[in-house]
Amino acid sequence: MKIAVVGATGLVGKKMLKVLEERIIQDFEFFPAASPKSVGKEIIFKNKTYKVQSVEAVIESKPDIAIFSAGSGTSQIYAPQFAAKGTVVIDNSSAWRSYDHIPLVVPEINGDVIKESDFIIANPNCSTIQMVMALAPLHKVFKIKRLVISTYQSVTGTGVKAIRQMEAERKGELCDKVYPYQIDMNLFPYGGTFEPDGYTTEELKLVNETRKILRDRNIQITATVVRVPVTGGHSEAVNIEFENEYDIADIYRLLNEMPGVKVIDDPQNLKFPMPLFAEDKDDVFVGRIRRDFSQPKSLNIWVVADNLRKGAATNAVQIAELIIKQRNLK
């Protein structure tokens, strides 16, 4: 079995290597690829040293699986070339998510949509993944009518340059800025780029990807994305209006039964999900679970997860695990 990681030297790419080491126990040939400026660099993977190759060279090696974390432009160019060689591409960018014929997968929810004929599979946006992990079991029973979402997204979602900017600002040092404003001791209400209607691309991902993964185009969704000066994970305040009435005890039961979700909800003892405790964990943490008394059949929840792990690397590797099993790769 051959597995490639495209974008192996980036922040998410490095996390993918770590998750691959942890989860894929089968022996496989490994092919790290990155941009031309990184070709020839050495990386350590499973206690072995590998030289980073060009994407073109790795395509010719015909890996069984290629996990992409190199941006949508790179994916649009190279994913079809890998697929033409019989490689299954698991893409972490936004390049393929909106195409009806491309599976958009969170394995615990809709891994069954992957067909043998699929050679490009999209990994959802980090904020979407953690939210639908909490929503899926509730939607199945009570049917979600409307969502109002506010996110509090870690600087790690922007990449290593954003982390460096925040750390430099905290030290009072000059640095190259990836954000147009100071992020330390600040937050700003947008992510991605603004569309003509005033919403941002990050907000629209939450709308469109949630509907696709939950297989319900009728869910009404509005979102506000906020960037906050933390590492460790993204947080989300989610207001849910259901079609059907619910009992709060059933909400707890369904969330506790959902694989990959952990409920931390003890406000009397100040125990609830926070990025501080989510960092480097694969679970999605849910708390502040309470009825919305202003609207019938409505609920408030707070969702936190490490956006680099379950929000990106872990979800992609879980898809790879499905492919390995489905196609009997050895």
Active-site residue list: 126, 234
Contact 58, 66 (CB under 8 A): yes
CA nearest 60: which of 122, 2, 102?
2
Identify the burial level of 2 via C-beta atoms within 10 angstroms of its C-beta, where 0-12 means exposed, 13-18 middle and 19 or more buried. Answer: middle
Phi, psi of 45, deg, nearest 5: -140, 125
Close Cβ partners of 231 (under 8 Å, ≥ 6 residues apart): 154, 155, 156, 163, 275, 279
H-helix or E-strand spanning residue 288: strand 284-291
Instruction: Output the CA torsion 210→271→314→159 (10° steps).
Output: 80
Cα-only R_g, the chain: 20
- Structure token pair of residue 310: 């379950």
CA nearest 120: which of 149, 84, 89?
89
Within 13 Å of residue 216, how many CA atoms lie on the same side as its CB?
17
Per-residue DSSP letter, 295: S
Residue with tokens 């790179």: 74
